[in-house]
Amino acid sequence: QMFCAVMAVFVLQARGTSALMAGRSCANAFQTIRRNAHDKIFSELSPPIILQDADSELGTRPVHVNNHGPVSDHAFSVAPMMDYTDRHFRYLLRLLSSKAVLYTEMVGASTLVHNPDIDRWLRLSDDVENPVVLQLGGSDCEDLRTSVKRASAYNYDEINLNCGCPSDKVAGKGSFGATLMLDAKRVGQLCDAMAQECGKPITVKCRIGVDDQDSYEQLAEFVGTVSQTGGVEHFIVHARKAILGGLSPEENRRIPPIKYDHVYQLVADFPSLRFSMNGEVKTYEDVSEHLSRGLHGVMVGRSVIEQPWLWSEVDSRIYGLASDNVPSRRKVLEAYADYAEQEISRMLIKDPKYAPRLKRAILRHTANLFRGEPNGRKFRVVLDQQLNTPGRSPHEILQTASGALFPETLDAGPGMKIRDAFGESISARA
């Protein structure tokens, strides 16, 4: 290829082509050679090169991002997300961070009132999940009171009332979630009823408004009323309004415009209360910016699902610990496989028919651990193939899937960047 490139220059010059044109042709040829070499390095024929603490898309890695005074326990939390933040995913996240505050999926109060097997919804993975918050959904004082009483047997650190979910099932037919923001006095009563049944803090997760009730004044009135009548001192605010009856939950996460200033203004107007902010937080720089505005904490949602390993530096970069919770993803997979084996063994005793489904329910959460890494897609493909193969244990499944990855990728610690021999990040091709 190099010979052809050089010959092309001579041919162009022989034909009277300008030196500039010849130079461009030569440069293009060498760029092709360079790209082909890059592709070869990315292939399984040659491993990547690891540059620890190298500049990345997030910028140069600092010791930690919170340089704005003492770090609150709630500086970083993971949002409650249906179908995702079950106890299996929370266990995986706890392997990545010892400090992040984790939330359950929303649990309906009526579910805990009318079902005898509440362990299905409330059981924690021993004490390793803490700090962890139970999020409840409901609009009936007695149901919520009973739910909190039943949940008191479990080691949750706080109870959170969902006043932000916009789905038709919740805010429409269920008459709770975001709909509750239209009745602040009712929310205060619900929170007071829950507080009477436990000594744990009661918090509220809400939006900045609902439909046309979206002015800052209306948001401030909601916060003031709920804090006074319900004794709530911590509000987690998604900095978008909810549009009921017209948008899906997914559309409600991206179509209503973000208004961070509304949340910042709450911090200024209610100095005795604490506010955490949720919405479009995707980088450590985002976290740092919001914390610098006086927020008690920042809550991250979809980014944790899409790129869980990105947030493996929470302990050092946000909480200022000397080191992060886990040395490498190889260790994460080993520990998570141990956990999966224990959970499946327990299920084989309780309900053998459900054990195969449980295996997929647990291991599916590892699919994005290598997203944006060399052979990350291949890991996901092999993982799915292994999950569809009967008789495979969690250790066998994860070991086989991880065989698709470079050893350097598996052993890289938090903050380590995989680059090719030309110094270019190759994560975009994973």
Active-site residue list: 165
Return the SS3 of 299.
strand
> Phi, psi at residue 153, to the nearest 5°?
-75, -10
Contact between 4 and 29 under an 8 Å Cβ cutoff? The reply is yes
**Tokens linked to 321:** 């610990």
Q: Helical H runs in 59-207?
A: 87-96, 109-114, 119-122, 141-151, 184-195
**Tokens linked to 259:** 């208004």
**Tokens linked to 346:** 């327990």
CA dist 101 and 68 (Å) reads 19
Terminal Cα-to-Cα distance of the chain (whole angstroms): 27
Whose CA is closest to 333, among 281, 253, 269, 409?
Answer: 409
CA dist 173 and 192 (Å) reads 24
Cis bond upstream, residue 80 (ω within 30): no
Contact between 206 and 182 under an 8 Å Cβ cutoff? The reply is no
Contact between 296 and 257 under an 8 Å Cβ cutoff? The reply is no
CA dist 413 and 428 (Å) reads 19
| Neighbour-count burial for 143-162, b at 16+ CB within 10 Å, e otherwise | bbbbbbebbeeeebebbbbb
Largest Cα–Cα separation, the chain? 92
CA dist 362 and 88 (Å) reads 6
CA dist 284 and 59 (Å) reads 10
